[in-house]
Amino acid sequence: MLKYIVALVCLLFAPVHVALAEEADQDILTNEELNQFELPEISVKEEAVLKQLADTPEEANDEDVIALKEAIVRKDIIENKAASLPFVFLPHRPNYIMPFAYMQSTYEDPYADILGEEWPGFQHWEAIFQISLKYQIYKFDKANRHKLFVAYTNKSYWQVYNSKLSRPFRETNHEPELIYQFTPNWGYINRVQLSLNHQSNGQYQQFSRSWNRLIAGFYHADGNSIYGVEPWWRLPETSKADPEDPTDNDNPDIHSYIGYGNFIWLKKWKRFSALLRLGNNFQADNNRGWVELEWNFPVTPRVRGFLQYYEGYGHNLIEYDLYQRRIGLGFKISDYL
């Protein structure tokens, strides 16, 4: 009797298994393709490929230009392969740990007001780390030139050397995004990215900071440099700022300090690179902004070191209106390129 029941179950579910298998064949890479996809072995150093990457015959002999274009192509290859694989997360922004970061100013006021003389204070030395991942949820065309991602970035400021405060996380900024990315044929503009961005520190009352933005990114590669402009528009909220009201605007004047967008410049020299990021409010009477400078260098084949300097407003959300200077040394496991 048991063998007839088993046979009946197999007959009932056989069409389902066949349908699932056919669907999987359409969406997922075959085992043969997976075996050929070895990320550490991806290389575009063949002469024929280099000629296609270089814009002019002169650039084909420029090692710095080649290094940048290899990095761009390698990133595209990985993202295109990952689009066909389930449960594969990709790096979004740099993923790093900065164990040694010195900040000139410490944001003490809210804590000192509450605790008074019992407040031991933050230390100038702390650690900063960032985790940033994205996942492609939709492919608009077969060549995957138009992509839709969800992304999440977590940046934490850790008073790891402050034993008097039990080594707390001083601030953590959460940044989920929905991103549409495409590669246009617009001459000077090589890539465009549009995102719906929410940023918050997850706190409450006078410690709460958050805002929502629509961000556009326009990028151009030229020689061994990439230039990017990222203007944004803040989604309207009330101008009321009452620390006791959780429904109001926690930081209505944040754009007056951080500005209305980013400018990015990345320059690559073989295995080394430099990065400049800055923003400004474009106000003549009360001009404010920020600048971040970074030097990246190889440590191991899988880890990069970097030295970073930050000056200006917007260092993080809790101290967006505090002028800060900070220098730090850290290690990256992934970068923009």
Kindly report which listed range (53-67, 214-228, 314-328) carries the lowest average pLDDT score: 53-67
Q: Could you tell me which residue, 28 or 181, shows the higher pLDDT?
A: 181
Q: Is the pLDDT of residue 218 over 50?
A: yes
Q: Is the pLDDT of residue 184 over 70?
A: yes
Q: Is the pLDDT of residue 165 over 70?
A: yes
Q: How far apart, in Å, are the Cα atoms of 328 and each of 112, 211, 307, 309?
A: 26, 27, 6, 7
Q: Report the alpha-carbon distance of residue 234 to residue 260 in Å, rounded.
A: 9
- Residue 326: which domain range? 89-334
Is 293 inside any structural domain?
yes
Is 194 inside any structural domain?
yes
**What's the confidence (pLDDT) of residue 138?**
95
Is 48 inside any structural domain?
no
Is 81 inside any structural domain?
no
Kindly report which listed range (10-19, 24-33, 62-71, 123-132) carries the lowest average pLDDT score: 10-19
Q: Report the alpha-carbon distance of residue 207 to residue 77 in Å, rounded.
A: 43
Q: What is the mean pLDDT of residues 156-170?
A: 95
Q: Is the pLDDT of residue 140 over 90?
A: yes
**What's the confidence (pLDDT) of residue 32?**
53
Q: Report the alpha-carbon distance of residue 278 to residue 1 in Å, rounded.
A: 76
Dump pLDDT digits (tens) for 21-60: 333 344 444 555 444 444 444 444 444 444 455 455 555 5
Q: Report the alpha-carbon distance of residue 43 to residue 46 in Å, rounded.
A: 8
Q: Report the alpha-carbon distance of residue 73 to residue 44 in Å, rounded.
A: 8
Q: Is the pLDDT of residue 196 over 60?
A: yes
Average pLDDT over all residues of the chain: 83
Q: Report the alpha-carbon distance of residue 241 to residue 321 in Å, rounded.
A: 14
Is 273 inside any structural domain?
yes
pTM score over 0.85: no
Is 56 inside any structural domain?
no
Q: Could you tell me which residue, 307 or 121, shows the higher pLDDT?
A: 307
Q: Is the pLDDT of residue 252 over 80?
A: yes
**Positive or negative: CA dihedral 237, 239, 243, 247:** negative
Is 20 inside any structural domain?
no
CATH number assigned to the domain comprising residue 315: 2.40.230.10
Q: What is the mean pLDDT of residues 119-138?
A: 95
Q: Could you tell me which residue, 283 or 17, shows the higher pLDDT?
A: 283
Q: What is the mean pLDDT of residues 295-304?
A: 96
Q: Which long-range contacts (CB under 8 A, 24 or more apart) does 184-192 make?
A: 188/220, 189/218, 189/219, 189/220, 190/219, 190/220, 190/221, 191/217, 191/218, 191/219, 192/216, 192/217, 192/218, 192/219
Is 80 inside any structural domain?
no
pLDDT band per the 50, 70, 90 thresholds, residue 210: very high
Q: What is the mean pLDDT of residues 114-124?
A: 83
pLDDT band per the 50, 70, 90 thresholds, residue 185: confident
Dump pLDDT digits (tens) for 279-299: 999 999 999 999 999 999 999
Domain count across the chain? 1
Dump pLDDT digits (tens) for 66-86: 889 888 988 998 999 999 888
